Every structure is written in C-alpha cells, then in structure tokens.
C-alpha cells in the first residue's frame, strides 16, 4: 500500500488569540492529488505553512515524511524543505532574473553543477511549456506564464510533495484549467500535490479528486454536490 506522506494529529493552531485549527486531523498518502478548499481567511495558507514548518502547532503533531513537529530539530528544516515544492499565492518570482534563472534558483542553492542545472531546467521548462520564454524577464511574460515559472521552480528539485497556494488565483478560466491540467500531469509523474483554492468551478470540474475542506477549525473530506 501507499505510504503516508502527511499527518495532522489533533492539531491546534492560533494566531495570537485567533484560533484557526482545533483538533484538526488528516492523513494524506503518497501520490495523492488533493484540493484544499474553504472560504477566504479560513486557514488554507496557514495549513500549507504548517506543512512546511514555517509555523508550528500549539498542540498536537504534524508529521511530514520522517519529520515530526513535536521532535523536530530546527536544523532539519532546510533538509525537510528540500523535499517540498512550494508555489506561493503571490508567486515570489525574482524580477531581476530571467525565467531560466528563476527556475534554476533552488538548484543553485543546492550547489548543483552548471551542466546538471541546465539539463534539469530544460527538462522542466519543456514539461511546463516555457522553452521559448527562458530568456524573458518575469515582467515581460503573462500571468499564466508567471504561474508556470513558479510551478517549474517548485518542482525542479523533484520534491516528494508539492504545495500550491491558489495557483489559479488571477488567471482567466482557460489558463486556470491549463494550470490544473499541468499539476495533474506532474502528479502522474509521482509527486503528491495539495492545491489550495477557492475556485469552485475548477473543483467541480475535477470532483472525482479528493477534496479536503477547512470548516469549524477542522479538516473534512467532502464531495461536491452537483
């Protein structure tokens, strides 16, 4: 059977006095593709931050791969983050570097050799359809292309688990659909993926996928009513 890649066990989390999670539980297996839904301000981005250990639970435990929030040594965080790909809600592209350099960034940080970097960036750029954009600057490409760069950068290190925060946020419906199809293609290659979104049309369209909803400070598996 598939291994568990992520577990929330009775997780409580609050910002100051504002409670976001209370006894939240969930288990995610390797290879899953999940939509994370819930109204704006409910805690989707917070959940992703808990998964990459940017935030820690006040109570309960989060286990990602072999890392446990209750026992984690802070010096393990860089190693743990290398196993995660993160697509931020606001892309966070570097505007003074071209598309190639933006995608290559995690590989530079990991100290990879020039030839390996080139090969990996070309592979990923062709997967996400950016081969003819590699020399362009982020501000010279479209919103959909910027989103692809953010995705390419997140997967170039071949992560176990990809976290995508509202990846269709500001895109027109056709481009949004392309982005989801791209994420499904990446999932087919073996990467587990969680996509935070409030794009209900998209979720409805792919409703045979697992959908986790944040509601009443807990996590629920839900189905779309059609």
Ligand X SMILES: Nc1ncnc2c1ncn2[C@@H]1O[C@H](COP(=O)(O)OP(=O)(O)OP(=O)(O)O)[C@@H](O)[C@H]1O
Number of residues that bind ligand X (CB under 6 A): 14
- Binder among 24, 33, 43, 117 for ligand X (CB under 6 A): 43
Site membership for Mg ion, residue 45 (CB under 5 A): yes
CB 127 within 8 A of CB 187: no
Site membership for ligand X, residue 78 (CB under 6 A): no
- Binder among 8, 46, 147, 176 for ligand X (CB under 6 A): 46
Nearer to ligand X, 119 or 215 (CB): 215
CB 104 within 8 A of CB 95: no
- Binder among 3, 17, 40, 226 for ligand X (CB under 6 A): 40
Rounded to whole angstroms, how far apart are CA atoms 226 and 220?
18
Tokens 């982005």: give the residue. Answer: 179
Of the ranges 29-37, 42-50, 90-98, 126-134, which one interacts with Mg ion (CB under 5 A)?
42-50
- CA 58 from chain centre, in angstroms, equals 23
Tokens 């409805």: give the residue. Answer: 204
Interaction residues for ligand X, span 134-153 (CB under 6 A)? none
Nearer to ligand X, 67 or 88 (CB): 88
Binding mask 160-199 for ligand X (x = CB under 6 A): ------x-------------------------------x-
Pairing state of beta strands 4-15 and 59-64? antiparallel
Buried b (16+ CB within 10 A) or exposed e, 68-90: ebeebeeeeeeeebebbbbbbbe
In the complex, the residues that contact ligand X under the rule CB under 6 A are: 15, 18, 20, 38, 40-46, 89, 166, 198
């Amino acid at each position: 059977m598939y291994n568990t890649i992520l577990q929330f066990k009775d997780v409580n989390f609050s910002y100051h006095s504002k409670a976001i999670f209370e006894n939240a539980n969930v288990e995610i297996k390797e290879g899953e593709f999940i939509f994370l839904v819930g109204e704006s301000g409910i805690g989707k981005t917070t959940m992703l931050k808990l998964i990459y250990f940017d935030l820690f639970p006040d109570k309960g435990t989060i286990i990602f791969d072999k890392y446990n929030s209750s026992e984690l040594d802070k010096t393990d965080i860089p190693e743990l983050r290398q196993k995660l790909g993160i697509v931020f809600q606001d892309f966070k592209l570097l505007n003074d570097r071209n598309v190639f350099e933006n995608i290559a960034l995690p590989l530079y940080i990991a100290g990879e050799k020039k030839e390996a970097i080139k090969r990996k960036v070309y592979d990923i750029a062709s997967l996400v359809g950016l081969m003819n954009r590699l020399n362009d600057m982020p501000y010279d490409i479209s919103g959909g292309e910027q989103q692809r760069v953010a995705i390419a950068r997140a997967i170039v290190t071949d992560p176990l688990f990809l976290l995508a925060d509202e990846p269709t946020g500001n895109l027109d419906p056709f481009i949004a659909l392309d982005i989801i199809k791209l994420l499904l293609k990446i999932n087919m290659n073996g990467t587990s993926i969680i996509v935070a979104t409030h794009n209900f049309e998209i979720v409805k369209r792919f409703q045979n996928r697992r959908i986790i909803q944040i509601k009443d400070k807990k996590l629920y598996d839900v189905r779309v009513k059609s």
